[in-house]
Structure 1
């Protein structure tokens, strides 16, 4: 808890204590695993989040997995109404157990989304433990996070290779899933909906940003599928019109993410960004880069280029301060710097310095660890961005040469 708290301090000396606190917590891991309690599970979730923002995604994902195993070891997936009837638990204890179970479920699904790896908590367990909302007790942010993460589960199942391979026959099902996600987003109540920004609760910014982020992940996949199957059509639309429409949706969602981040930054400061904001800031930035670097034949002449450039400038400016609080942002910035080399955006993210002190051991062999990852990966690594972005994976679209000859840029083998 102290390690996570140091991240939001403006004092550099206090922030430096974060790693020391985390290391102290790790010394008790064996003891805690032999005598696990609810606090043990909470501790692993916090360690997971701390390591994620420290650009140590591998160890962070592992700690999250331990926390999810403890759900079942501690019986948090079980209905405890009988224990309440017998006086073994009081209702407040039962509510805490449900909230912790749901929180761990959300952590699990977000890790699965961002790393493209299997989730740990079966969706069937969720339905047994999820409380039914009542008119007397309005649902809070956690319930809406759970709803979103149920849809994220469906997305990751489709995109991470856990089901049939994606081809043009899956377009309709992906569009249906996108429509259901949009409907759930539209149903957010005042205070949690970004449609009412003046009333937006501080805890709802991340929720709305993630709704836009998952739409970007989904529509990138739709574009990739259509690019790979030129003959596919839906609803009588021309193939190129479909792609153009999906790219517009990508752009619109990136704009929404930027607007929410801008409002949040002005009201609360970058030091109070939460993890999902960092991840989706990265997604929005790569989407804007793609929009700006589209070939002229696909570009839209509606002024969006200027708007995209302005918003990308906001994101690059925003990325300058968070590394002091969240080292993973420096990793993301370096990735974007490398991916835009030899383009008109080459200077947008500064020079790439892989020997920087902020780099961690997990990133020394980036491509070896991410080259085989599914297309839904969206993390602060070079390989993840190449796989995740529908346009940046096309090396010939990144070169400044107006001829745009295929294969003209390979960027050390990352783009082919």
Structure 2
């Protein structure tokens, strides 16, 4: 770290002329000699957090809190919504320091961060004065967004932690609007640049800075960095773009010592208040965030290994080895999950807070993201059938788990105000359920699960406008595959249909407003195959599903455009580009370039010829493009891309 004459500190690594190794080593040694045990640090941080919690109400009544001109009662209302919702999702904001410095103009409070919090909380507020159009929730917080814009101009000349926090809060809020994806991406990019500028990607005790960081400083820097790391991966996933922050460039432990909020009683007052019977739960904020950070590292590996432009350079053998390695990381993460965060939506009698449910939803989403490309590859299906069969079984199991989570979420909190991550998980699950439903009877569990997903889309679309694109894609896929639902998208599906099934109500209160799935051979099959498909991901040539899925071949082939008997000629597809992240098999002459997953049909060099052939020795050609990628002579069209289905290249198709 270098401190300039005006007191501004900035990070410079070993290649910079500003880097002085001697200073770095002296400062690092001094830090090591004076570092206190974590137990002492934790006690100090928890004590300070408890003290500041008591002072919040005192400072509010004393009128010392700076609400930036907003009515104090409204300002406190919006802050309370934030602390109850977004704060627990990513832990980007640090409440003790923010509320303390809000009363004394300290360094961890700024008006740009305050207004970013106002903006993010406004769409969850029932108060119409925060809306420009009282009847349109999408206009909620407009005045706070304008205030952020005005303040941002003067905040770009110098990196500040509060500016980083504000940009990250704005990123999450803007993306959910649906038509602000570029703004969300740019705000996040600015935040990441500032993080590097401040050296937050290196743990404070290891920076060798002449400035002494307090325990609170270190805690905040760690939380903000890892919050940004998670946001980076989620934005990369949503938008189908490369991630910015790489784990290999970081030296920040996933260790948070302020545990004050961990066991605080959490009540869902910022969510729907329709269910008055929810008894509350410990917040589990710190352990949930810690687990999310570890999961985001696995997500980073999946995105960088499976969803990159050069993945198509790998052979089938290499990709299958990658699949097994990444799957083992997901399994290890699940096994290491703290016991109090483990949740079975079927068996559990107590539903945890929404951020815990979101954590599980992300795990199942990543499971599908990892395995679905291997289901859709025609060449693998012909040469090593067990791989796509096993991957499909795992995808179906994960999709069923997501549907069960959605029902539990809706039963306790209502999906109307659920975060966008829940809707994205709904979309990912729906792409699996619709294909199974196309091969099953009208009263199958897959159809019930699909109706659950459609009900979530409808209920959540007002809060998260971006959900409408997901709904449009799934509705189009339903039509293409010839799935007949009771009243898709209408009043008899999802909400009202589930209300008629009152006998299937869950143990935690009133009936879900989303369709409840039934039971039958599909559930039994998934339960049986989950025991054999998730542990170790063993691929045996004689692996086959039980009789519950007699048409598993047809289901798998429906992932490859043009292979399903219900599918119209692929050349009539309205998008005109290859289905993203699905591996399409073609003859070498029809090969394209720029794949997310696939192989070039070009002749490989002699040194890598063997690696460029499939398991049977024949040339392989797997093609799957980013939505922004160019396609040469494409003969297929995508229906339900997962990685980047919010890409700007598709905007004209969803106007």
* TM score, norm. by length of structure 1: 0.76
The aligned counterpart of 1:205 is: 357
- Residues 324 and 10 (structure 1 numbering): CA distance in 2 closer, same or farther, change over 3 Å? farther
CA distances 1:194-248 after superposition (whole Å, capped 9, x unpaired) = 24842634421111110000000111111134x2334533xxxxx1x44333222
Equivalent residues in 2 for 1:292-371, closer than 5 Å: 292-294=437-439, 306-342=444-480, 343-345=482-484, 348-349=488-489
Given that residues 176 and 465 in structure 2 are in contact (C-alpha distance below 8 angstroms), is that contact kept between their aligned partners in structure 1?
Answer: yes
- Residues 408 and 157 (structure 1 numbering): CA distance in 2 closer, same or farther, change over 3 Å? closer
Matched, 1:407 2:569: yes
The count of residues paired between Structure 1 and Structure 2 equals 358
The aligned counterpart of 1:76 is: 200
The aligned counterpart of 2:245 is: 121
Distance 1:21 1:390 in 2: 50
Alignment partner of 2:418 out of 270, 273, 280 = 273
Matched, 1:157 2:304: yes
Matched, 1:223 2:375: yes
CA distances 1:318-356 after superposition (whole Å, capped 9, x unpaired) = 222212111111222122223333522486246xxxxxx
Deviates more, 1:320-329 or 1:7-16: 7-16
The aligned counterpart of 2:582 is: none
Q: Which runs of 5+ in 1 are unaligned?
A: 234-238, 351-388
The alpha carbon displacement at 1:77 in A equals 1.8
Alignment partner of 2:561 out of 387, 394, 402 = 394
Equivalent residues in 2 for 1:39-58, closer than 5 Å: 39-56=162-179, 57-58=181-182
* TM score, norm. by length of structure 2: 0.50
Q: Which runs of 5+ in 2 are unaligned?
A: 1-116, 131-136, 263-285, 491-555, 577-635, 638-655
- Residues 398 and 230 (structure 1 numbering): CA distance in 2 closer, same or farther, change over 3 Å? closer
The alpha carbon displacement at 1:309 in A equals 0.6
- Residues 392 and 398 (structure 1 numbering): CA distance in 2 closer, same or farther, change over 3 Å? farther
Deviates more, 1:36-45 or 1:328-337: 328-337
The alpha carbon displacement at 1:73 in A equals 1.6
The aligned counterpart of 1:168 is: 316
The alpha carbon displacement at 1:44 in A equals 0.9
Distance 1:124 1:394 in 2: 37
Question: What SS class does the counterpart of residue 202 from structure 2 fall into?
Answer: coil
Distance 1:305 1:159 in 2: 36
The alpha carbon displacement at 1:105 in A equals 0.5
The alpha carbon displacement at 1:261 in A equals 1.7
- Residues 82 and 245 (structure 1 numbering): CA distance in 2 closer, same or farther, change over 3 Å? closer
Equivalent residues in 2 for 1:57-136, closer than 5 Å: 57-81=181-205, 88-126=212-250, 128-131=251-254
Distance 2:173 2:304 in 1: 26
Distance 1:124 1:242 in 2: 30
Given that residues 437 and 483 in structure 2 are in contact (C-alpha distance below 8 angstroms), is that contact kept between their aligned partners in structure 1?
Answer: no
Distance 1:31 1:284 in 2: 43
The alpha carbon displacement at 1:251 in A equals 1.1
Given that residues 257 and 281 in structure 1 are in contact (C-alpha distance below 8 angstroms), is that contact kept between their aligned partners in structure 2?
Answer: yes
The alpha carbon displacement at 1:186 in A equals 2.2
Instruction: Name the structure with the higher helix share.
Output: 1
Q: CA RMSD in A?
A: 3.2
Matched, 1:5 2:121: yes
Distance 2:559 2:382 in 1: 23
Alignment partner of 1:190 out of 336, 339, 364 = 339
The alpha carbon displacement at 1:114 in A equals 2.6
The alpha carbon displacement at 1:178 in A equals 1.0
Distance 1:109 1:304 in 2: 38
Question: What SS class does the counterpart of residue 317 from structure 1 fall into?
Answer: helix
Considering Cα pairs closer than 8 Å and 6+ residues apart, tell me whether 1 or 2 has the greater RCO.
1
CA distances 1:253-309 after superposition (whole Å, capped 9, x unpaired) = 011111112111221222441232121111111221122235xxxx7xxx8971111
- Residues 276 and 398 (structure 1 numbering): CA distance in 2 closer, same or farther, change over 3 Å? farther
